[in-house]
Amino acid sequence: MAVRTPGVAYSITVRSEYPNDPGMLGKITSAIGDAGGSAMGVDVVQTKGSMVRDFTVNTTGHDHAIEVVDAIKAVPSVKVRSVSDQTFLLHVGGKIEMSSRVPVTTRDDMSKAYTPGVGRVCMAIHEDPDAVWALTGKGNTIAVVSDGSAVLGLGDIGAAASLPVMEGKALLFKEFGGVDAWPVVLDTNDTEEIIRFVKAMAPGFGGINLEDISAPRCFEIEDRLRAELDIPVFHDDQHGTAVVVLAGLINSLKIVDKKPGDLKVVVAGVGAAGTACTKILQSYGVTNIIGYDRQGALDRGREYGDNMMKQWFADNTNPENLTGTLAEGLVDADMLLGLAGPGLVTAEQVAKMTSDAIVFALSHPDPEIW
């Protein structure tokens, strides 16, 4: 099994106290290295009397972080004062906030921004509904909507537990696009309830970003909202993933010198992301795509019940109607697109793919293969 590389997502800061003697710093950093940690920063907190330093260390996960801390504790004369998780600290209090675009520092500012002046603006929108785009923030505001039923790599964790992801997506909208976004997590998995709620709140937003809603419900929710709303509706798990997968494939083919029509592509995971990625790859000219779920290849001999997307997948892919397991499908495959879960693929299976094979293992936080 491949060795995981320490990363910043599992970074810890260990505050350690020890005698201010020559060689102590080297002993501690050596202990960190021997435990497999990657020391990213050493900061002095105190030098008077005892030395106190913060050691920021990248690890591979929770259990590995404990091993690193134990290694530091094992250095003679070292006392660990505290351990903090950098990722958790970043999330304390949430990652986003509302800020004002105009100052309210005087009585006149208040009179124009709120009462009584705001009433005139409300009536202007009442008389001309299209004025809402110019006179409010609607045109630059996105709702990031989820029920937390299909958080990639984590599954059905519920609305509240999905909130850090939705806050993160709102953060990305603002930082990379200058677009204001707000997370809206819904404590229901009922398709009709979600559609009704989003339609009811839509007047306050310029667009809807659906996120981490399980298949096949996500397809109906997106289709219905697109048809019934007059603002853009985007399902990130489908179309966001598909866009970056296609971009990655375009660049990969330049490196391996292959053509889209010559590829045998294996898709592990045929939910929302797998289906959308397949459609965009087909639009780019990839014709030989085989999808795999827990039961194996999606072929035209299986029954899919009311799962319309799996039926579509079976009807429109797998031109040779292959059956069998994912491992069997990877033999002589040119590309693996992993959108399923951790540890599903082995190095031995990848070795049986074609030369210059392309592997996109996208399940997170743990991919199909390291």
pLDDT digits (tens, 9 = 90+) for 335-347: 999 999 889 999 9
Q: Give 75-110 pLDDT, tens digit per residue.
A: 999 999 999 999 999 999 999 999 999 999 999 999
As a whole number, the mean pLDDT across the chain is 95
pLDDT, tens only, 288-316: 999 999 999 999 999 999 888 899 999 99
3-state secondary structure (DSSP) of residue 315: helix
Catalytic residue numbers, as ranges: 114, 169
DSSP helix/strand/coil, 15:
strand
Confidence of residue 277 (pLDDT cuts 50, 70, 90): very high
Q: What is the average per-residue pLDDT within 132-160?
A: 94
Q: Which residues, including other chains, have CB under 8 Å from residue 179's CB and lie 6 or more apart?
A: 140, 141, 142, 173
Dump the DSSP string for 41-108: EEEEEE-SSSEEEEEEEEESSHHHHHHHHHHHHTSTT-EEEEEEEHHHHHHTT-S-----SS---SHH
